């Protein structure tokens, strides 16, 4: 079982009181923004492109017939770089999040717990952090004890790579990806521990 290189932090972590202050301030900016608006909405950063719309809920795809995920890569929150292709042959849980997003904060403990639970069995977790500053993103992962890496995507460029496959209409959005690199399930909105666990088990049970 391969292990990814350790990503060395390039940002000094603030103290706990400062982290909580950063998170509270960020959340206050957009309490409803992550549930009502689309990431990738028209802006100079994405050249007028936007995501295909979608409603909240879970979508399942037949084994072997789900959309293929793009080979996204980029800088990590905290430093280093990572490509999604490094996880090929593993079931992957890919979560789009932002520290300013209230539902993201609500689902974070379940994601962190499931990542710890399934890490030894070869399931990989990866985040794509949308529209965040490095400080607030690191504060979020520290306070929720999220040990898996997240790609830093302040301008939605990485997220837009998913627009022609199964694009998130807003965040949080979570994709469960098979060992062959195809999406087996999509959850638009916050995940629950039991709900995501069942989707992971379904993907693990699929033939490689």
In Å, how far from its chain's centre is CA 199?
15
Query: What is the reported pLDDT for 27?
Result: 38
Q: Beta strands 92-97 and 81-83: pairing type? A: unpaired
Query: What is the reported pLDDT for 170?
Result: 72
Query: What is the reported pLDDT for 25?
Result: 39
Q: Give this prediction's pTM.
A: 0.77
DSSP characters over 68-130: BPP--EEEBTTS-EEEGGGGTTS-EEEEEE-TT-HHHHHHHHHHHHHHHHHGGGT-EEEEEEE
Query: What is the reported pLDDT for 197?
Result: 97
Helix (H, G, I), strand (E, B) or coil at 60: strand
Token couple for 159: 């997220």
Query: What is the reported pLDDT for 18?
Result: 45
CATH class held by domain 16-205: alpha beta
Query: What is the reported pLDDT for 57?
Result: 87
Query: What is the reported pLDDT for 60?
Result: 93
Query: What is the reported pLDDT for 159?
Result: 86
Domain boundaries, the chain: 16-205
DSSP characters over 121-184: GT-EEEEEEES--HHHHHHHHHHTT--S-EEEETTSHHHHTTTTSS--SSSSEEEEE-TTSBEE
Query: What is the reported pLDDT for 167?
Result: 54
CA distances from 114 to 36, 146, 157, 188, 204 (A): 27, 10, 27, 18, 14
In the chain, which residues have pLDDT < 70? 1-55, 165-169, 208
């Amino acid at each position: 079982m391969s292990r990814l290189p350790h990503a060395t932090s390039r940002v000094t972590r603030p103290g706990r009181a400062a982290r909580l202050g950063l998170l509270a301030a960020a959340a206050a900016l957009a309490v409803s923004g992550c549930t009502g608006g689309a990431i990738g909405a028209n802006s100079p950063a994405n050249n007028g492109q936007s995501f295909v719309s979608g409603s909240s809920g879970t979508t399942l795809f037949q084994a072997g017939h789900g959309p293929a995920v793009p080979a996204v890569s980029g800088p990590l929150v905290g430093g280093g770089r990572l490509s999604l292709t490094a996880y090929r042959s593993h079931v992957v849980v890919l979560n789009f999040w932002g520290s300013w997003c209230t539902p993201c904060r609500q689902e974070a403990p379940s994601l962190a717990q499931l990542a710890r639970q399934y890490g030894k069995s070869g399931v990989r977790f990866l985040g794509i952090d949308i529209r965040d500053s490095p400080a607030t993103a690191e504060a979020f992962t520290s306070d929720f004890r999220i040990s898996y890496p997240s790609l830093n995507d302040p301008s939605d460029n990485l997220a837009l790579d998913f627009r022609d496959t199964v694009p998130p209409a807003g965040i949080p959005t979570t994709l469960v990806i098979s060992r062959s690199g195809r999406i087996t399930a999509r959850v638009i909105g916050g995940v629950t521990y039991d709900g995501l666990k069942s989707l992971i088990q379904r993907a693990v049970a699929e033939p490689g």
